[in-house]
Structure 1
């Protein structure tokens, strides 16, 4: 039987909290995509609902799946994958800062949280792998 338990050590706790936040945000994206889209400044073109579908599926669904994998399996490799995913989100943001000129308060705050969301799981995985 798989059970979700809160970890004893702080590095894993922070990674666990990151996974839980990922699940909760993903559920919000899946269940209420329009308010999230409004908050994020995203819009549909009015002709199709493909934008809403993208927010529900690839964004929300992937976040829920990745976060649940970490919470249910509680393995360093799953946390490593979560951290790596957020690391590449940060890399995409940095590219967007230069290419799209999106260096604004919204994107900077999001990047800060994405850096933390990459750091905590990667730190835990690195410790578990004996790299730190």
Structure 2
């Protein structure tokens, strides 16, 4: 089971997921991401720093989010240092497909460096 939260960091929404990402919880995560993309933010971070299980469903969600971001012109970054997440992404995706950072502040800093403005 996953716990999903959304936080705004000066105009950059951060969708945080904790727990397990599997096919029993993909719809609420997808809905949270879709709701944020529908707002058309300049940037978005998916925080997976508290995910303990991450399989093919998680990879599919990351690929979908990456595609939505590209199609909508939204800067997108992922935050995690969890072995379950990193190993699965490393096996499933070619290098460079996902903008991956160890922490949410690192991901936000990367988006700011890429030109995402600070909301006032």
Same-fold status (TM-score > 0.5): no
Larger Rg: 1
More helix by share: 1
Structure of higher RCO (CA pairs closer than 8 Å, 6+ residues apart): 1
More strand by share: 2
